[in-house]
Amino acid sequence: MISFTCDYSEGAHPLILKRLQETNLQQEPGYGDDRFTRSATAKIREATGCPKAGVMLLCGGTQTNATVIDALLPHYGAVIAAQTGHIAVHESGAIEFSGHKVVTLPSHRGKMAPEELKAYLEKFYAAPSWPHMALPRMVYISFPTEYGTLYAGEELKALKSICERYGMPLFIDGARLGYGLASPAADVTLPELARLCDVFYIGGTKVGALCGEAVVFPRGNAPEHFFTIVKQHGALMAKGRLTGIQFDTLFTGDLYMEISRHAIEMALRLKKAFADKGYPFYTDSPTNQQFPILTETQMKALEGKVLFEVWESLPDGRAVTRFATSWATTPEQIRELESLL
């Protein structure tokens, strides 16, 4: 049985395992002071075109979101997200757990509309009672979004400019960053994206690593004592080498983008397979998550042969499903799916 359930079904890219093996008995200091983390940092600075970037390697997505948001928000600050944003839905209230309200705006296939953000802020500060409310002090978006869609460069610019006007950092959740940047639909590069936000992270867990997310403060603008904040959030790894080696490998010789492009190639073939058979889609996703709409009969037909996720049940009995590809998806898996449709 093949699984398109998610993009974290397999282990790690073979080169990562190889490197773990080669360096295994090398003695290194803990807590991110090892040579691999230093090397990974240097390579990420180069790849992002941000020579002064603050880089910190954390372990997982929810942890990274909670830590970054709490680190950047003042006590009274709320973070604004699209209604479908990961932090607003699937993180067990981790943001609220550290004391912060998540304010939601309408989601347009996963995206926040700059003009709606602007309107929200104008209305917020027009209300005389605004000091009685949690103050919006940060904007959170994901690239690609939870629905596989991408912000255009112009949209990012618009969001950034609103954020600047209101003194709010713009935070990009890049849990699947590679799969966004590698899409033919992307009109920003990694260095461009880095310039268009105040902090973002480069997802490892879903893009070839066993675990790990690289937080980047593009202009060296990490908050003071970020190391201690990370520790306080339980997010500091004793064996920093584990994330160090992984990101060092992923950022050696374009590997990160290479495997991301492969995943997108697989995704577009998968998409075509569904489209060719006349399946409608919930969103027109150009990234590694595809959302075909299946009837009950169609789902039954795949049972026991292909695993995928049911995203949402529609009133007419059909379901929005999610098929995800990754760095590990093989042409054979796609072919098998094609033959089953």
Q: Smallest gap, in angstroms, from Cβ of residue 10 to a copy of itself?
A: 5
Binding mask 252-291 vs a copy of itself (x if CB under 8 A, - otherwise)?
Answer: ----------------------------------------
Structural contact between residues 11 and 210, judged by C-beta atoms closer than 8 angstroms: yes
- Of the candidate spans 57-65, 144-152, 193-201, 276-284, the one that interacts with a copy of itself by CB under 8 A turns out to be 57-65
* Residue 229 engages a copy of itself in binding (rule: CB under 8 A): yes
Rounded CA-CA distance 176/147 in Å is 12
Q: Three-class SS string for the chain?
A: CEECCCCCCCCCCHHHHHHHHHHCCCCCCCCCCCHHHHHHHHHHHHHHCCCCCEEEEECCHHHHHHHHHHHHCCCCEEEEEECCCHHHHCCCCHHHHCCCCEEEECCECCECCHHHHHHHHHHHHHCCCHHHCCEEEEEEEECCCCCCCCCCHHHHHHHHHHHHHCCCCEEEECCCHHHHHCCCCCCCCHHHHHHCCCEEEEECCCCCCCCCEEEEECCCCCCCCHHHHHHHCCCCCCCCHHHHHHHHHHCCCCHHHHHHHHHHHHHHHHHHHHHHCCCCECCCCCCCEECEEECHHHHHHHCCCEECEEEEECCCCCEEEEEECCCCCCHHHHHHHHHHC
* Residue 235 engages a copy of itself in binding (rule: CB under 8 A): yes
| Contact pick of 63, 252, 283, 295 for a copy of itself (by CB under 8 A) | 63
Structural contact between residues 256 and 208, judged by C-beta atoms closer than 8 angstroms: yes
- Of the candidate spans 143-151, 153-161, 194-202, 306-314, the one that interacts with a copy of itself by CB under 8 A turns out to be 306-314
Chain residues 114-143 in contact with a copy of itself, contact rule CB under 8 A: 126, 128-129, 131-135
- Of the candidate spans 53-61, 112-120, 147-155, 185-193, the one that interacts with a copy of itself by CB under 8 A turns out to be 53-61
* Residue 67 engages a copy of itself in binding (rule: CB under 8 A): yes
Chain residues 145-204 in contact with a copy of itself, contact rule CB under 8 A: none
- Of the candidate spans 6-14, 146-154, 181-189, 257-265, the one that interacts with a copy of itself by CB under 8 A turns out to be 6-14
- Of the candidate spans 98-106, 109-117, 158-166, 250-258, the one that interacts with a copy of itself by CB under 8 A turns out to be 98-106
| Smaller CB separation from a copy of itself, 47 or 235 | 235
* Residue 26 engages a copy of itself in binding (rule: CB under 8 A): yes
| Smaller CB separation from a copy of itself, 310 or 340 | 310
**CA distances for 167 relative to 78, 136, 226, angstroms:** 13, 10, 20
* Residue 210 engages a copy of itself in binding (rule: CB under 8 A): yes
Count of beta carbons in the 10 Å neighbourhood of residue 82: 28
Q: Smallest gap, in angstroms, from Cβ of residue 197 to a copy of itself?
A: 21
* Residue 85 engages a copy of itself in binding (rule: CB under 8 A): no
| Smaller CB separation from a copy of itself, 265 or 309 | 309
- Of the candidate spans 113-121, 145-153, 225-233, 315-323, the one that interacts with a copy of itself by CB under 8 A turns out to be 225-233
Q: Smallest gap, in angstroms, from Cβ of residue 114 to a copy of itself?
A: 21
Residues comprising the chain, all counted: 341
Q: Smallest gap, in angstroms, from Cβ of residue 204 to a copy of itself?
A: 10
| Contact pick of 40, 94, 105, 215 for a copy of itself (by CB under 8 A) | 94
Rounded CA-CA distance 142/151 in Å is 9
* Residue 15 engages a copy of itself in binding (rule: CB under 8 A): no
* Residue 27 engages a copy of itself in binding (rule: CB under 8 A): yes
Q: Look up residue 181 and give its two tokens.
A: 């940047």
| Smaller CB separation from a copy of itself, 151 or 176 | 176
